[in-house]
């Protein structure tokens, strides 16, 4: 981790993303932003607001409503030396550009024998919310883990939003940046200057000795609240915030689980074939004989995201469920 000084500024995660784009666009003329409504409207979540006025329509470009075209054009621009930052408004729409993303961008470095890289950052929103429904409220981040050549980040704090996004823009590989809608409004100190967080390094948000909770995105907030309740009952939980899903920081994860010997994996996505499945496999392959209890996975119910608020609450893991599973794990 590096930074340009000790000064920090309090800002929302949404603002930290915007300031990072502004900082890197001013520093590197190869960086430009493209996507649906990123220019005149300022982005679906306000992240690109003001960039058009500052950098002009040559570097902040509204696009047609075609995710395949957006990522295809970005890949071509990256191959030719530019560094596009793409906004895809919802992660539900990523399957529309799978060919351009997975078959081309993620593999081009390999297919050219390392001669050509495709430095694209694709920002997108994930998280199930009332009113979003089946087509605008998914959590498909775990589905992209198996593709070699593709990096995946999920910032939780405003500082990590800056540090990880800056590292992603400068990375020679395509990077998917999953931004939780639960977190856009949270505030925190953000280091000024050239501040980067290495991709592939998890954060220990809370140390503990009785069990490990591994999670990412908006679920970190729920895990923290659950850990507070557990502490009142004499259970000391350690919280690992993944921050990066590809590559996974297996060293930090395994060290924590080896210490506590119990683990609850919490994710807003489905447990079948998703992030929790991969983590559970890694943990049991390496620490099976060390575990005092089976790995517990807490994920979303296997249904399409509903519109109804009460149904969303029932589908997505909540604090009560995380606490209950942790207590069951320690035998309390």
pTM equals 0.95
- Residues with a catalytic annotation lie at 67, 136
In words, the CATH class of domain 203-330 is alpha beta
Please work out, in degrees rounded to the nearest 5, the angle formed at the alpha carbon of residue 199 by the alpha carbons of 49 and 128. 55
Domain boundaries, the chain: 11-191, 203-330
- pLDDT digits 0-9 by tens, 103-151: 999 999 999 999 999 999 999 999 999 999 999 999 999 999 999 999 9
Would the CATH topology of 11-191 be identical to that of 203-330?
Answer: yes
Residue 1's pLDDT band (cuts 50, 70, 90): very low
**Is the per-residue pLDDT at 2 higher than 50?**
no
Average pLDDT over residues 255-271: 97
Per-residue pLDDT, 5? 53
Specify the higher pLDDT residue, 302 or 187: 187
CATH node for 11-191: 3.40.50.970
**Is the per-residue pLDDT at 332 higher than 60?**
no
- pLDDT digits 0-9 by tens, 108-120: 999 999 999 999 9
Per-residue pLDDT, 23? 97
**Is the per-residue pLDDT at 3 higher than 70?**
no
Residue 201 C-alpha from the chain's centroid:
12
- pLDDT digits 0-9 by tens, 41-88: 999 999 999 999 999 999 999 999 999 999 999 999 999 999 999 999
Per-residue pLDDT, 323? 98
């Amino acid at each position: 981790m590096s930074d340009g000084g000790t000064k920090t500024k309090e800002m929302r995660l949404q603002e930290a993303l915007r300031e990072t784009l502004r900082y890197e666009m001013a520093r590197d003329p190869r960086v430009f932003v493209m996507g649906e409504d990123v220019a005149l409207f300022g982005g679906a979540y306000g992240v690109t607001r003001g960039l058009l006025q500052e950098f002009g329509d040559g570097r902040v470009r509204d696009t047609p409503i075609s995710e395949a075209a957006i990522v295809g054009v970005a890949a071509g621009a990256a191959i030719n030396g530019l560094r596009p930052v793409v906004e895809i408004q919802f992660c539900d729409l990523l399957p529309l550009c799978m060919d351009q993303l997975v078959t081309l961008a993620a593999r081009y470095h390999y297919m050219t024998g390392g001669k050509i890289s495709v430095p694209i950052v694709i920002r997108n929103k994930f998280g199930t919310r009332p009113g979003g429904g089946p087509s605008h409220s998914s959590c498909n981040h775990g589905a992209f883990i198996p593709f070699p050549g593709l990096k995946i980040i999920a910032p939780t704090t405003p500082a990590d939003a800056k540090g990880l996004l800056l590292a992603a823009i400068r990375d020679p590989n395509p990077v998917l940046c999953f931004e939780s809608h639960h977190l856009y409004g949270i505030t925190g100190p953000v280091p000024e200057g050239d501040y980067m967080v290495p991709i592939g390094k998890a954060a220990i948000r809370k140390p503990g000795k009785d069990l490990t909770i591994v999670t990412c995105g908006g679920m970190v907030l729920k895990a923290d609240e659950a850990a507070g309740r557990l502490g009142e009952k004499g259970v000391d939980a350690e919280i690992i915030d993944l921050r990066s899903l590809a590559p996974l920081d297996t060293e930090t994860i395994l060290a924590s689980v080896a210490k506590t010997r119990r683990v609850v994996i919490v994710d807003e996505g489905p447990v079948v074939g998703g992030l929790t499945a991969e983590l559970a496999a890694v943990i049991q392959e390496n620490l099976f004989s060390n575990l005092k209890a089976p790995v517990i996975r807490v994920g979303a119910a296997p249904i399409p995201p509903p519109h109804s608020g009460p149904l969303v609450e029932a589908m997505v893991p909540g604090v009560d469920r995380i606490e209950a599973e942790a207590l069951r794990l320690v035998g309390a």
